[in-house]
Structure 1
Amino acid sequence: MFFVLLHIVFSSFFVLCVRWSQVRKDDVITIGALNYIVAGVAITAFFLSTEQMPFTANSLMTGTMGGVFYFVAFFFLIITTSWKGAANTTVVSRLSILVPVLCGIVFWHERPSILQAVGILLACASLTLVARRAARLEGSKPPPYALLLLAMFFLMGGCCRLSLEMFKHLCQPNERPTFILLTFGLSGLASVVLLALRRRMPTNREFAAGIALGLANLSQTYFILTALKSLPGFVVFPMTAAGSLLFTTMVAMFFLDERLSRLSIAGLTIAVCSLSLLHPVVGPQPGASSSGSAHRALPGYNEPPIVADPPNVLVTSSNTPTMSPFPAD
């Protein structure tokens, strides 16, 4: 649970930093590209300083998937948020938790209890209620193909989280640095190409925001991978989505002077209820599948304790997330 809380804090910081940049009229596309580049450089530096970084075909596959989907989802985010009235993209990103949750239940036989299933539904309901107010604030009608692009954004955001769920079940915990290296290395290279094509030098403020986002994105990704090591995806993904929604909104309300509508208050109340229901049950659950049990089935594999995780991966303390919008929730 400690790593779930850390993920919520860093993914929420990511969202708040993006909002702050938008308020200041900074170029969010440039900041998002810098975010991936900074995260890629940081994890590459760690990779080069490490004598041994274990990897398998599965970690290479899931890491490559993560890098591709992170960048593609970021592109869909840019397209959809360029429309006036496309504030629904935020809730679509958070609701994409359904993709890894359903895949975990169908393919890896994760079995939520009845109360946890209710918690998943409540988490989705809370996100929808909060989104309704955002949609009314924009008010403009999106283009005819908006639904298709929002559907693709939902799919790409879900696939970002699905790559994390696949890593949990297919790879060993000590392969996390390899997964993160490929995820942010590939998305960082794609971002370099994007900035080169745009031929626009970032401002000092955009550089600072990009560095902050990159380190937060890297950290939140590491924390959610660590959380998935001991908790099932149907607990981690809804809990982080609802928790980051609650945390982000409370910070924005107290420090950014944002006011809440009745729908927003109702949504946050439901989010709190969902978090209490999603709290993991102590002890094994019938039919549940976890990375620990899967790894212990491998010959000669001894699961390392959490304290053995390489601390330098955290860089400053990695997300997305969710630019994690996805990676970030």
Structure 2
Amino acid sequence: MLFLVLNIVLLSGFGLFLKHAKDNQQRLNPIGFVNYLVASFISIWVLSQEQDFEFSKLTFALGISNGVTYAAGFELFTLGIRLSGIVVTAALVRLSIVVPIVVSMLFWKEIPNLWQAIGLLLTFVAIPLLSQREKEPTYTFTPDRPEVPQGLGFAVAITILIITGISRLTMKAFNEMCPVDEKSLYMSLLFGVATLIYLGICLYQKTWPNWWEVFYGVLIGICNVAGSWALLIALDKVSALIAFPMSSSGGVLFTMFVGMVFLHERLGRIPLIGALLAMVALIFVNLKP
């Protein structure tokens, strides 16, 4: 149970530290670069400890494509924080688990059980509620950054859900079709590609991380990798029937608590209802017979 709690705290910390950095006027793209660089170094170090270096082409293809979706997902995550705040954005990221479920239903003829069907329905109700911006959005509007239409909130919410869902679907494809002992290479490719993409962004924008941004990037990178490994260890000690619902809904609840109490994030009534509904939906979609 300790590792399950660590998973909730660490993966929630990814978004919370990013939100804190934004509130302290730090640039998020350089932080993203450092985050993925740290995660890449850790993954490569783990890979270097292994003896067998024979890997399949499919692992390379999935690792590279997932690196692209990770980088795109990070960019959307930062946009979501600016528009709607960390609580709503984190809930949307967690809800992206429904994308692999829907694809499995359509292409692999997997049939969800009753609880998962209820969870899917609740998800479709929660998404438009989460996409509603509060009256005073967290995004700072200036003459060169005019106010965006309300419909953009829904468009960003759907895009976050789809891109993060594709990322989860790619991971599911790796778990289903590739040998498990190739996981270290897969993670190294994933974080390596994301690092290169953000290096390109920083070069294009001529923005290099200052010391505070390096600090935030290292923290987020450690949360990124350690949170994933904590879940893997937790699954060895706790039933998946308990681990996945607790990890998903617990992450939303923990992020909501820290975001509203310590980061002083204001959440409108409708997005708050959406976040609470998302927690219930996440419990249901993770329930298996």
1:206 equivalenced with 2:213 (yes/no): yes
| Residue identity in the other structure for 2:16 | L
| Residue identity in the other structure for 1:247 | F
Q: How much does 1:59 deviate?
A: 2.0
- Which residue, 157, 168, 175 being the options, matches 1:168? 175
Change (3 A) 1:163 1:219: farther
Q: How much does 1:280 deviate?
A: 3.3
Cross-structure match for 1:33 = 33
Change (3 A) 1:112 1:212: same
What are structure 2's unaligned runs of at least 5 residues?
A: 140-146
Q: How much does 1:171 deviate?
A: 2.0
Q: CA offsets, 1:257-296, max 9 Å, x none? A: 4455443553454345335534534xxx5xxxxxxxxxxx
Which whole-Å CA distance do the structure 1 matches of 2:166 and 2:51 have between them? 31
1:255 equivalenced with 2:254 (yes/no): no
Change (3 A) 1:252 1:262: same
Q: CA offsets, 1:90-123, max 9 Å, x none? A: 2654544332221122333433211222123324
TM (normalized to structure 2)? Answer: 0.76
Change (3 A) 1:13 1:87: closer
Which whole-Å CA distance do the structure 2 matches of 1:150 and 1:62 have between them? 25
Change (3 A) 1:142 1:271: closer
Change (3 A) 1:106 1:124: same
More relative contact order, 1 or 2 (CA 8 Å, 6+ apart): 2
**Is the Cα contact below 8 Å between 1:246 and 1:271 reproduced in 2?**
no
More helix by share: 2
Compute the RMSD of aligned alpha carbons.
3.7
| Residue identity in the other structure for 2:135 | R
Q: CA offsets, 1:108-163, max 9 Å, x none? A: 3433211222123324534543443x443329334998877765554332221111
Q: CA offsets, 1:172-203, max 9 Å, x none? A: 33222121111001111222233233333322
Aligned to 1:52, the other structure's residue is in SS state coil
Q: Percent identity over the alignment? A: 27
Cross-structure match for 2:200 = 193
Deviates more, 1:249-258 or 1:61-70: 249-258
Which whole-Å CA distance do the structure 1 matches of 2:125 and 2:279 have between them? 12
1:273 equivalenced with 2:272 (yes/no): no
TM (normalized to structure 1)? Answer: 0.68
Q: How much does 1:252 deviate?
A: 2.2
Q: How much does 1:228 deviate?
A: 9.0
**Is the Cα contact below 8 Å between 1:100 and 1:159 reproduced in 2?**
yes
Change (3 A) 1:245 1:126: farther
Which whole-Å CA distance do the structure 1 matches of 2:39 and 2:214 have between them? 13
1:156 equivalenced with 2:163 (yes/no): yes
Q: CA offsets, 1:31-82, max 9 Å, x none? A: 111111111122112222332356323322221211121123334556x459
Deviates more, 1:210-219 or 1:19-28: 210-219
Which whole-Å CA distance do the structure 1 matches of 2:129 and 2:62 have between them? 33
Aligned to 1:64, the other structure's residue is in SS state helix
Cross-structure match for 1:136 = 135
Cross-structure match for 1:292 = none
